[in-house]
Amino acid sequence: MNLHQLTLAALNDHRLFTILDLAGTFAFAISGAVAARDRGLDWFGVVVIAFTVACGGGVLRDLCIGAVPPAGLTDWRYLAVAMTAAWMTVAAGRLVARLAHPVILFDSLGLGLFAVTGAQKAIIYGHGAEVAVLLGVVTAVGGGVTRDVLLTRVPVILQREIYALAALVGASIEVAGERLGWLSSGRTWVALMACFALRYLSLRYKWNLPRPSGSQDNDG
């Protein structure tokens, strides 16, 4: 915990970080719980997968910046949020099912939230811009990859979709804004919405990046 050198401004960042991080936890937990329920797991399995998916990326981030034990394990609010999300998914199953593609919606939201908070936490711990951007992507992508690996299906990140790129854009805006001195609340919403919009619109309108095999003309 090398947090003692935080200034007041950073403390405000820290409070905003916690709120957004819990929101991302909630979003990814819903996404994990729906996927687990659709695979026919029992209710305890649904809670475990929801918690794992919600905290997987954050735990990896915390291990990488030396913030041990990871917040997902020490802060009871993460567990409470994940359990609430899992319970809501199970209890309000018919409501969630009525939403169009709830996994995709909450997965996109969690992607944006974690891209921002992953970058924020690395900055709060005093690391450089490259580490912050990369850990934003790791935090954002970690949950979904963990979910897909545990459910033994090809990770979303590997399909022809804009996924990690959206996280990269969100984390980059957050870090660039911090370096340029933008107000934390302003840059955070821009970064969050940019990542969420890029991911969600790419799914809705089937935007895809070109494949290497298709780009026969050399782009040197």
Q: What is the contact surface with its own copies in residues (CB under 8 A)?
A: 36-37, 39-46, 48-49, 59, 63-66, 68-70, 73-74, 76, 79, 89-91, 93, 122, 127-128, 130-131, 134-135, 145, 149-155, 157-158, 160, 162, 164-165, 208-213, 215, 218-220
Residue whose CB is less far from its own copies, 122 or 195: 122
Residue whose CB is less far from its own copies, 183 or 209: 209
Least distance in angstroms from the C-beta of 181 to its own copies: 23
Residue whose CB is less far from its own copies, 185 or 208: 208
Residue whose CB is less far from its own copies, 11 or 209: 209
Least distance in angstroms from the C-beta of 109 to its own copies: 21
Least distance in angstroms from the C-beta of 132 to its own copies: 10
Least distance in angstroms from the C-beta of 90 to its own copies: 4
DSSP for the chain reads ---TT--HHHHHHHHHHHHHHHHHHHHHHHHHHHHHHHTT--HHHHHHHHHHHHHHHHHHHHHHTT--S-HHHH-HHHHHHHHHHHHHHHHTHHHHHHSSSHHHHHHHHHHHHHHHHHHHHHHHTT--HHHHHHHHHHHHHHHHHHHHHHTTS--GGGSSSSSHHHHHHHHHHHHHHHHHT--HHHHHHHHHHHHHHHHHHHHHTT--PPPGGG--S---
Angle at 103 between CA 171 and CA 132, to 5 degrees: 15
Residue whose CB is less far from its own copies, 4 or 8: 4
Least distance in angstroms from the C-beta of 85 to its own copies: 13
